[in-house]
Structure 1
Amino acid sequence: MVLLLKSKNSKQYFWIGFFVGILWFWWIGLSSIYFNLNYLVPIIPIIVGFIYGLLFRLCYLLKFDFLRLCGIFCISFIHPLGFDWLNWGIFTVYGFFDPSYRGIICIFLIAYFIYESYISRYYKIAIVLILFFGGFQYNEKQAQTLDLNYKLINTNISQDQKFLQENLKSNSDILIQDILQAINEKKELVILPETAFAFDLKNTKYELMLKELSYKITIITGAFHVEKEHTYNSTYIFKKGNVYILNKHFLVPFGEEIPFFKDLIKKYFLKNIKEFTKGPVQSQYKLNNQIITNAICYEATKEQNYQNSQIIIALSNNAWFNNSSEYKLQQLLMKFYASKYGVSVYHATNGKENIVILPKKLLSKDWKKFIQRNI
């Protein structure tokens, strides 16, 4: 931010925005590999960088440094095609600042007053201290946690192997063994990743097996669901012989749906893509009298899913962006929203490690405990 304020012309703003876009989203083209569009891997992040470069350059048109910084702050509210992963809130996930807009705004204002030279040194120190303590995290939000003995299943199947017909049976059999192991461990709930069963589970032998096993353990898994020529990316819940299906609402642009120019894009780029149909905006269910919000991958980073939630069970397939920082950015966004709204998140993934996310703890408390242990 200070670097932006030191920039003296619109070109510098453009290039800073360009590289912010590329460094933030350099991984976004990696999924093109699985559509045989390898040449798009470098092109897509360049396009993204160009878009953010233009947005940053527009901010320079505002005549005063303070207004320019306000413009940069507001860029995080611009969501091309609903894609909202450029969120300055992730800078409050760690450290002293409150994980909220109060914390973010204070960080921006501190950068502004550090840069500005028309304020005397002592006034500047006083203002920065006021802003620091104004943005400080004073309280911890308490999240409800699962009161079931649970197990998160982690898989590591590469994207180019996951949906091959010849692999479906062997991969599914391994999942059944994982569930049996959870039963042997006396678990009450087992959670599997997104599309763990990489086919439509309805009316298959695996659906029957999962129903039977659900008398011993509640099973949550990802799979496809086909109904009346509509295909859904879904969460299946098997409980006491019954099955409940929750369908994904927030679909990934150009990965799960084509938002515009469908015919043109299907003809020249995504010839074999099978678009998904959207489910309800927010799907919830009950486990042991606790209300659970369902989230499938992209949905786990949507703020509105946190606003009326206490517990989120999220399923992801991070193998789409293997060897990238995508999953770390996903986790940072989840941590920010979980801390902002006081939500616990239980995240089962394919391709990366599972994680349980709770609201941010007071850093001052952690430091105090560390000092007490070492004195």
Structure 2
Amino acid sequence: MRIFWALIFAAIFLLPVYVGGIFIYLGLEKTAVIFESFFGLLSIWIFLLVPRVLKFWFGFFVGLGLFYWTGLSFRFSPMEFLIPFVMIFVSIVYGVVFYFLLFYNSYFWRIFTLMIASYIHPFGFDWLVIESFFSYSIFAVDKWSFFGLILGVIALWNFRRYYKLISICFLLFALDWGHIREDGKWQDLNINTSEINKDKLNLKITTTDIPQSEKWEEKEMSYIVDNNFNLIYQAKQDHQNAVVLPETAFPFVLNRSFLIDNLKILGKDIVIIAGGLREDDNHRIYNSIYIFQNGNFSYIDKVVLAPFGEKIPLPEFLAKPLRKMFFGEEIGLSDAKKPGNIQIGKEVFRGAICYEGTSAIMYKDKPKYVIVISNNAWFVPSIEPILQRMLIKYYARLYKTVVIHSSNQSPSYVLSSSVFGDKNL
């Protein structure tokens, strides 16, 4: 019976992601705002009131509901049978996390753990950000506003009669007054339009649809490369200033490829931003953003590698045999030391690759624009692209940044710091 009630509480807790997320995915942000504003408050209420005897199983089902997709990448490895074991392992980890988050029924303890939950990163994985449940809501997403929401829910539940007005005061405090409107901040750029504006930077943001099962197949490489070049030629023909292709659009070590010279030539007429692998002089491999511009090329290497997907967050003597077992290679991807920027004309863009787009590290200095490139084919179909978008929107709002996202096998979009400021591509 405990497991049943823990499942019910967890399902209610996750409504902002699953119900609001579906409307976001369908491009119905205004409808999503209604549901996420209400269901986000409901999630806080559930967290505050779920009985401590359910703490482990509640966390288990929350972990399963949010992160079941983490094992789906094993579909493309010789160890596909590990998928359910990875899902169960991740769920157990979050069961342990919530065991401590919900250890006491005390409001003081629950408020404290709600406020610090986003700083708890098992194995470096930082996607449990409850504040992001309000990414598409009428409420602000900073910590003080989140604290006001928690106090508002407590007052609404516990106070009687006209004292409930106190809860309204807390909720009004948490409203995002300055950003509950359609904001054209991203319109400083001309994105994916056929009309060329000489006063703006014209950007073509592409979306590709290459299944992961085909992305590393040698027989598919010709099609993948031809498709990339067609996208570049089309953007050039449309007189765009720049074209952005997704993560690993070129799924090989691009700087060792004969294509590098062709891309440098094309880069004389249009700035090309595309994902690919990079090998340095010491034979270290990086997941990189390539920038072809003015007949030359530069690159930005990934700083924040995805735990277990791109790096194994364990001591090297343990990580090395695990890499060999899971990926067939003893040497994994290397990481860069600091984020990099892309300058196109007068505008400067922070460059981020997939998981980095959901990391606070990329936003700390409040860049005006961030270009994120992703390959979500590893996890499609799943809730992962929706959760990724909610997290990116959270950081866009928190740091007042415009985020431009080019993706493979999930929708591309532009997100601004306003609630209704998005552009679906």
TM-score where L is the length of structure 2: 0.80
2:49 alignment counterpart: 6
Letter in 1 for 2:86: I
Mark the CA change 1:100 to 1:7 in structure 2 (over 3 Å): closer, same or farther: closer
CA contact (8 A) 2:400 2:417 kept: yes
Is 2:115–2:143's contact at 8 Å kept on the other side of the alignment?
no
**Cα distance change on mapping 1:170 and 1:128 into 2, 3 Å:** same
Residue matched to 2:21: none
1:303 maps onto 2:351 in alignment: no
Aligned residue for 1:372? none
- Tell me if structure 2 keeps the 8 A contact 1:234–1:245: yes
| Residue 94 of structure 1 pairs with residue 136 of structure 2 | yes
Query: SS of the residue aligned with 1:99?
Result: coil
* SS of residue in 1 equivalent to 2:246: coil
Cα distance in structure 1, aligned partners of 2:327 and 2:258: 32
Instruction: From the superposition, tell whether residues 72 and 43 of structure 1 become closer, same or farther in structure 2 (CA, over 3 Å).
Output: farther
Question: For 2:106, which of 37, 57, 64 is the aligned residue?
Answer: 64
| Offset from partner CA, 1:306-345 (integer Å, 9 cap, x none) | 1221111111100010101101111111111111111111
Q: CA deviation at 1:268?
A: 3.9
Q: Deviations over 1:108-150 (max 9, x none)?
A: 222322333xx33321x12211111110111139856444111
1:243/1:41 CA distance change after superposition, 3 Å: same
Give a deviation string over 1:204-244, Cα, whole Å, max 9, x none: 33111111111111100111111121001111100110101
What residue number does 1:262 align with? 319
Q: What is the match of residue 168 of structure 1?
A: 221
Aligned equivalent of 2:66, options 21, 24, 29: 24
Which has the larger displacement, 344-353 or 42-51? 42-51
Cα 1:110/1:47, change in 2 over 3 Å: farther
Match of 1:328 among 376, 386, 402: 386
Letter in 2 for 1:134: F
Query: What is the alpha-carbon distance in structure 2 between the residues aligned to residue 321 and residue 74 of structure 1?
Result: 28
Match of 2:308, SS?
coil
From 273, 276, 292, the equivalent of 2:333 is 276
State the SS of the aligned residue for 2:141. coil
- Any idea what SS the aligned residue of 1:250 has? coil
CA contact (8 A) 2:353 2:373 kept: yes
Q: Which amino acid aligns with 1:346?
A: I
How much identity, in percent, do the aligned residues show? 31
Q: For residues 345 and 5 of structure 1, do their structure 2 counterparts lie closer, same or farther at Cα, with a shift above 3 Å needed? A: closer
The letter for the 1-side match of 2:169 is I
Change (3 A) 1:45 1:115: farther
Q: Which moved more, 1:60-69 or 1:346-355?
A: 60-69
Distance 2:69 2:420 in 1: 32
- Whole-angstrom distance in 1 between the partners of 2:168 and 2:94: 32
Contact 2:396-2:416 within 8 A present in 1 as well:
yes
Paired amino acid for 1:351: Q
Separation (CA, whole Å) in 1 of partners of 2:330 and 2:209: 23
Cα pair 2:102 2:110 within 8 Å, conserved: yes
Structure 1 residues 283, 60: closer, same or farther in 2, change over 3 A? same
- After TM superposition, give the deviation of residue 274 of structure 1 in Å: 5.2
Specify the SS of the correspondent of 1:41.
helix
Tell me how far 1:200 sits from its aligned partner. Answer: 1.4
1:35 corresponds to which of 67, 70, 77: 77
Is residue 130 of structure 1 aligned with residue 165 of structure 2?
A: no
Write out per-residue CA displacement over residues 126-180 of structure 1, whole angstroms, 9 at most, x where no aligned residue. Answer: 2211111110111139856444111012111111110112221221012111111
Q: How many Å separate the matches in 2 of 1:71 and 1:271?
A: 40
Structural RMSD (CA)? 2.0
Any conservation in 2 of the 1:152–1:354 contact (CA below 8 Å)? Answer: yes
Distance 2:341 2:63 in 1: 34
Q: Distance in 1 between matches of 2:305 and 2:246?
A: 17
Which of 49, 57, 75 aligns to 2:91? It is: 49
User: Does the residue aligned with 2:178 lie in a helix, a strand or coil?
Assistant: coil
CA deviations 1:62-103 (Å, max 9, x no partner) are 362232232133222101222111111222222221132233
1:156 aligned onto 2:213: no
In structure 1, C-alpha distance between the alignment counterparts of 2:184 and 2:376, rounded to whole Å: 29
Equivalent positions of 1:194-273 (< 5 A) are 194-227=247-280, 228-260=282-314, 261-272=318-329
Q: Give the AA of the match of 2:49.
A: K
SS of residue in 1 equivalent to 2:177: coil
1:76 is matched by which residue type in structure 2? S
Give 1:132's aligned amino acid: L
| Alpha-carbon distance in 1 for matches of 2:201, 2:297 | 19
Unpaired runs of 5+ residues, structure 1, are 364-375
In the comparison of the two structures, how many residue pairs are matched?
Answer: 359
Q: Residues 110 and 16 of structure 1: is their aligned pair in 2 closer, same or farther, counting only changes over 3 Å? A: farther
Q: TM-score, normalised by structure 1?
A: 0.90
CA distance in 1: counterparts of 2:294 and 2:235, whole angstroms: 16
Tell me if the contact between 2:155 and 2:166 (Cα under 8 Å) persists in the aligned partners: yes
